[in-house]
Amino acid sequence: DAGVIQSPRHEVTEMGQEVTLRCKPISGHDYLFWYRQTMMRGLELLIYFNNNVPIDDSGMPEDRFSAKMPNASFSTLKIQPSEPRDSAVYFCASKLQGALAHEQYFGPGTRLTVT
């Protein structure tokens, strides 16, 4: 199994630009999570999906952030417009329907830098 795949691994953009992060969960996993990690705030859950449906987006910081999951094998996290304070590592994770919540498998992350 290839594990959770994220792209790009690194993204550098200017303030005001649109940024799209992509995630391919492990095949067969029903849950998909988006996290953000910074030195100041640690790892924060932004949103998660179950069977492609967003279940809880209370962690999404602002309306500038949006996430979609058009099918079971693909999800995007979009920031529009981006700001320097959005600079962070964004992780995608997935898990099986029957697995316990702590059994999430994380991708390698996308390091976003907004200048």
Partner 1 sequence: DAKTTQPPSMDCAEGRAANLPCNHSTISGNEYVYWYRQIHSQGPQYIIHGLKNNETNEMASLIITEDRKSSTLILPHATLRDTAVYYCIVRVPWDRRNSGGSNYKLTFGKGTLLTVNP
Q: Which residues bind partner 1 (CB under 8 A)?
A: 4, 33, 35, 42-45, 47-48, 50, 55-59, 91, 93, 98-104, 106-109
Which of 81, 87 has the CB closer to partner 1?
A: 87
Which of 7, 81 has the CB closer to partner 1?
A: 7
Which of 82, 110 has the CB closer to partner 1?
A: 110
DSSP E strand stretches across 51-98: 53-56, 65-71, 74-79, 88-95
Which of 75, 104 has the CB closer to partner 1?
A: 104
Least CB distance to partner 1 at residue 81 (A): 25
Least CB distance to partner 1 at residue 29 (A): 13
Distance in angstroms (rounded) separating the CA atoms of residues 38 and 43: 7
Exposure of 51 by Cβ count < 10 A (0-12 exposed, 13-18 middle, 19+ buried)? exposed
CB 107 within 8 A of CB 3: yes
Least CB distance to partner 1 at residue 107 (A): 6
Question: What does the angle CA 59 – CA 33 – CA 8 come to, to the nearest 5 degrees?
Answer: 105
